[in-house]
């Protein structure tokens, strides 16, 4: 048992959570399941109505000290994203909080020779080191803690959780649901053939009810929205604002890693449904509100030009911007292959707030070619990183930002590698073999390809003894490597 000392206790502060409609401003109590405004159908945000008081409780420096101290807490509920309890959902009790090891992901600085190649200093934040191997676990930790809190309050005996997914949302939802168990049951809807085999294996292994539908993610999302309107199901897509809240923790961790110093910091995030980038911006805004950081880091959203509705919107001059979803084309950044992001209204709102406070250069959206994404993935992996295709999209975006003069070499870039490389290793194998479908419009760079080389191909292993095999094998390898005897 953890012995509670004066310094290691669960916080007793409690706030009050309310949903706020982005459009009409209507407010609703936080203890009901809501995904869009019942009055105008717009997107909701969550707000602690007591947030202003947090600024009175402690100075920015005192908050820093508290969060720094909690980095060595032994209380499981405070070891993940809820290290920043007061900034997230300070209504949950310790017993509500689910922690499966998410959060506190490593920030891996690029090797000097890699930084020289790219022309700027940068680090990957490895979100693939979360339990289901993507950042979605941050959101699920908050959403499932909320569901536990809610079930306890309402004494519900069965709750069906449901989500549409480009792969990682379903993996995370199924994992947390399997851990919590009854009264929760997990159902996931996947676009058939549009998630990687690794991602498909995850909800299956966690015992979720996995349903495949024809079409792309955007189609599945519409089905889930329809279901959530008509039946009592808990929707776990990024329309679920509790998930967005949990994902704010990424911003808090980056700020803490920098010692709360935001000078020259630039954050690169891939945009799919746009839940993550809006969560991160919201997180930095809150830190500034409480005086925990004194300025905002610059944000760079990155999209593939095969799925770039947010890029296209912001590429227009301000008075000409018209929101238009796009028809997606196949993208190796498959987890972000979304033409009609449900969180777009959140982007518009938060980007405007961000720009108002930190100037027009504080918010940027870049698009990159599929070719650049695969080249960047191979290149990052070659330099010791475990970047997925979406993390590679950030690296490709950094190169574009440098080329276009949007970022300067004295700045420091943090690239969000949103999932583990292994989830997307199939794309890399196809890149090496030159078997990627032409739809991706990618020509493998020969010097980045790598293949296994077969020696003693004609040898029947069973025809000789182990001794003979070792001697033949060693000779063949030594010859191939041109080894010299000692
Ligand atoms: C979900 C996901 C994204 C896109 O995030 P959004 O919040 O939808 O913008 C990017 N990368 C990976 C690996 C994901 O799972
Ligand atoms: Zn409304």
Percentage of the chain lying above the pLDDT 70 cut: 99
Q: At what angle do helices 249-257 and 60-70 cross, to 10 degrees?
A: 90
- What pLDDT digit, counting tens, does each position of 302-356 carry? 999 999 999 999 999 999 999 999 999 999 999 999 999 989 999 999 999 999 9
- What pLDDT digit, counting tens, does each position of 239-270 carry? 899 999 999 999 999 999 999 999 999 999 99
Note the ligand closest to the C-alpha atom of 22.
2
Predicted confidence (pLDDT) at residue 358 exceeds the cutoff of 80: yes
Q: How close is the Cα of 185 to the center of ligand 1, in Å?
A: 23
Which of 171, 268, 270 most suits a substitution to test ligand 1, by most atoms within 8 Å of the C-beta?
A: 270
437: exposed, middle or buried (Cβ count in 10 Å: 0-12, 13-18, 19+): exposed
- What pLDDT digit, counting tens, does each position of 24-58 carry? 999 999 999 999 999 999 999 999 999 999 999 99
Give the nearest ligand 1 atom to 247 CA.
7
The single-letter DSSP state of residue 273 is: S
Quick check: 385 and 409 in contact, CB under 8 A?
no
- What pLDDT digit, counting tens, does each position of 287-299 carry? 999 999 999 999 9
First to last CA, the chain: 56
User: Chain-centre distance of CA 49, in angstroms?
Assistant: 27
Quick check: 218 and 339 in contact, CB under 8 A?
yes
Q: Output the residue whose Cα is nearest ligand 1's atom 15.
A: 168
- As a whole number of angstroms, the distance between CA 418 and CA 130 comes to 10
Quick check: 148 and 155 in contact, CB under 8 A?
no
Query: What is the predicted pLDDT for the residue at 166?
Result: 86
Note the ligand closest to the C-alpha atom of 243.
1
Quick check: 46 and 245 in contact, CB under 8 A?
yes
Which of 172, 419, 422, 425 most suits a substitution to test ligand 1, by most atoms within 8 Å of the C-beta?
A: 419
Retrieve residue 14's tokens: 């409690």
Note the ligand closest to the C-alpha atom of 335.
1
Note the ligand closest to the C-alpha atom of 39.
2
Helix (H, G, I), strand (E, B) or coil at 162: strand
CA 210-216-220 angle, to 5 degrees, is 50
Give the nearest ligand 1 atom to 390 CA.
11
Query: What is the predicted pLDDT for the residue at 232?
Result: 83
- Which residues sit with their C-beta closer than 6 Å to ligand 1? 134, 136, 168, 238, 270-276, 335-336, 388, 390, 418-419
User: Chain-centre distance of CA 470, in angstroms?
Assistant: 47
User: Chain-centre distance of CA 206, in angstroms?
Assistant: 20
Kind and range of the H or E run holding 429: helix 425-433
Residue corresponding to tokens 């009055």: 39
Kind and range of the H or E run holding 267: strand 265-270
Average pLDDT, integer, range 163-170: 92
Measuring CA to CA, which residue among 324, 415, 320, 315 is closest to residue 367? 315
- As a whole number of angstroms, the distance between CA 395 and CA 380 comes to 8
Q: How close is the Cα of 83 to the center of ligand 1, in Å?
A: 23
- What pLDDT digit, counting tens, does each position of 441-453 carry? 999 998 998 999 9
Measuring CA to CA, which residue among 188, 216, 182 is closest to residue 201? 188
Note the ligand closest to the C-alpha atom of 36.
2
Residue corresponding to tokens 């809610």: 150
Which of 248, 393, 416, 418 most suits a substitution to test ligand 1, by most atoms within 8 Å of the C-beta?
A: 418
Note the ligand closest to the C-alpha atom of 28.
2
Query: What is the predicted pLDDT for the residue at 229?
Result: 86
- As a whole number of angstroms, the distance between CA 413 and CA 398 comes to 8
Q: How confident is the model at residue 1 (pLDDT cuts 50, 70, 90)?
A: very low
Q: How close is the Cα of 25 to the center of ligand 2, in Å?
A: 6
Query: What is the predicted pLDDT for the residue at 7?
Result: 66
Which of 174, 276, 425 most suits a substitution to test ligand 1, by most atoms within 8 Å of the C-beta?
A: 276
Q: How close is the Cα of 27 to the center of ligand 2, in Å?
A: 8
- What pLDDT digit, counting tens, does each position of 183-225 carry? 999 999 999 998 899 999 999 999 999 999 999 988 999 999 9
Query: What is the predicted pLDDT for the residue at 2?
Result: 46
Give the nearest ligand 1 atom to 168 CA.
15
Q: How confident is the model at residue 8 (pLDDT cuts 50, 70, 90)?
A: confident
Helix (H, G, I), strand (E, B) or coil at 17: strand
Kind and range of the H or E run holding 210: strand 209-213
Give the nearest ligand 1 atom to 272 CA.
9
- As a whole number of angstroms, the distance between CA 235 and CA 189 comes to 11
Q: How close is the Cα of 333 to the center of ligand 1, in Å?
A: 9
Kind and range of the H or E run holding 168: helix 168-180
Quick check: 308 and 367 in contact, CB under 8 A?
yes
The single-letter DSSP state of residue 307 is: S
Query: What is the predicted pLDDT for the residue at 12?
Result: 94
The mean of the pLDDT values for the chain is 95
pTM, to two decimals: 0.95
Q: How close is the Cα of 312 to the center of ligand 1, in Å?
A: 19
Q: How close is the Cα of 237 to the center of ligand 1, in Å?
A: 11
Query: What is the predicted pLDDT for the residue at 6?
Result: 54
Q: How close is the Cα of 394 to the center of ligand 1, in Å?
A: 12
User: Chain-centre distance of CA 30, in angstroms?
Assistant: 24
Q: How close is the Cα of 271 to the center of ligand 1, in Å?
A: 7
Q: How close is the Cα of 61 to the center of ligand 1, in Å?
A: 33
Q: Output the residue whose Cα is nearest ligand 1's atom 8.
A: 273
The phi, psi pair for 403, rounded to 5°, reads -60, -40
Retrieve residue 36's tokens: 């869009």
- As a whole number of angstroms, the distance between CA 85 and CA 103 comes to 13
Residues 6+ apart with CB under 8 A from 429: none
Q: How close is the Cα of 109 to the center of ligand 1, in Å?
A: 22
Q: How confident is the model at residue 103 (pLDDT cuts 50, 70, 90)?
A: very high
Helices and strands (H and E) in the chain: how many: 16, 13
- As a whole number of angstroms, the distance between CA 430 and CA 378 comes to 12
Sheet of 233-235: strand order equals 209-213, 184-191, 159-164, 233-235
- What pLDDT digit, counting tens, does each position of 111-159 carry? 999 999 999 999 999 999 999 999 999 999 999 999 999 999 999 889 9
DSSP string, 317-352: -GGG-----------SSGGG--SS-TTHHHHHHHHH
């Amino acid at each position: 048992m953890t012995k509670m000392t004066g310094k290691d206790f669960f916080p007793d502060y409690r706030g009050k959570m309310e949903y706020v409609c982005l459009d009409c401003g209507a407010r609703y109590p936080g203890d009901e399941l809501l995904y869009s405004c019942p009055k105008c159908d717009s997107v909701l945000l969550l707000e602690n109505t007591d947030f202003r008081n947090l600024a009175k409780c402690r100075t920015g420096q005192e908050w820093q000290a508290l969060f720094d101290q909690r980095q060595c807490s032994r209380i499981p509920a405070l070891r993940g994203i809820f290290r920043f309890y007061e900034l997230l959902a300070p209504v949950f009790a310790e017993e509500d909080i689910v922690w499966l090891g998410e959060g506190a992901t490593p920030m891996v600085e690029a090797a000097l020779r890699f930084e020289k190649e790219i022309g700027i200093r940068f680090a990957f934040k490895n979100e693939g080191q979360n339990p289901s191997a993507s950042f979605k676990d941050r959101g699920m930790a908050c959403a499932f803690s909320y569901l536990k809190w809610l079930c306890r309050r309402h004494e519900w005996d069965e709750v069906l959780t449901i989500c549409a997914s480009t792969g990682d949302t379903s993996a995370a939802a199924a994992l947390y649901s399997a851990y919590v168990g009854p009264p929760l049951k997990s159902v996931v809807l996947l676009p058939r053939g549009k998630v990687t085999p690794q991602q498909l294996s995850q909800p299956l292994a966690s015992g979720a009810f996995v349903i495949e539908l024809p079409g792309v993610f955007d189609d599945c999302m519409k089905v889930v929205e329809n279901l959530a309107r008509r039946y009592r199901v808990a929707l776990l897509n990024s329309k679920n604002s509790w998930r967005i809240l949990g994902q704010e923790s990424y911003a808090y961790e980056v700020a803490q890693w920098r010692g709360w110093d935001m000078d020259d910091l630039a954050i690169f995030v891939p945009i799919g449904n746009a839940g993550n980038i809006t969560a991160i911006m919201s997180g930095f805004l809150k830190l500034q509100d409480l005086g925990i950081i004194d300025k905002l880091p610059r944000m760079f959203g990155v999209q593939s030009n095969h799925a770039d509705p947010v890029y296209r919107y912001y590429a227009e001059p301000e008075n000409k911007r018209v929101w238009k979803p796009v028809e997606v084309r196949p993208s190796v950044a498959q987890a972000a292959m979304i033409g009609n992001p449900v969180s777009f209204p959140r982007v518009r709102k938060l980007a405007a707030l961000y720009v108002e406070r930190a100037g027009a250069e504080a918010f940027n959206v870049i698009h990159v070619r599929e070719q650049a994404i695969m080249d960047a993935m191979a290149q990052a992996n070659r330099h010791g990183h475990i970047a997925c295709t979406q993390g590679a999209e950030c690296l490709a975006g950094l190169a574009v930002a440098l080329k276009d003069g949007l970022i300067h070499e004295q700045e420091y870039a943090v690239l969000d590698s949103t999932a583990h490389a292994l989830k997307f290793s199939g794309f890399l194998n196809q890149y090496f073999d030159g078997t990627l479908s032409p739809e991706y419009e990618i020509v493998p760079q020969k010097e980045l390809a790598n293949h296994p080389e077969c020696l003693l191909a004609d040898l029947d292993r069973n025809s000789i003894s182990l001794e003979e095999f070792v001697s033949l094998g060693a000779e063949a390898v030594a010859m191939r490597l041109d080894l010299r005897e000692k």
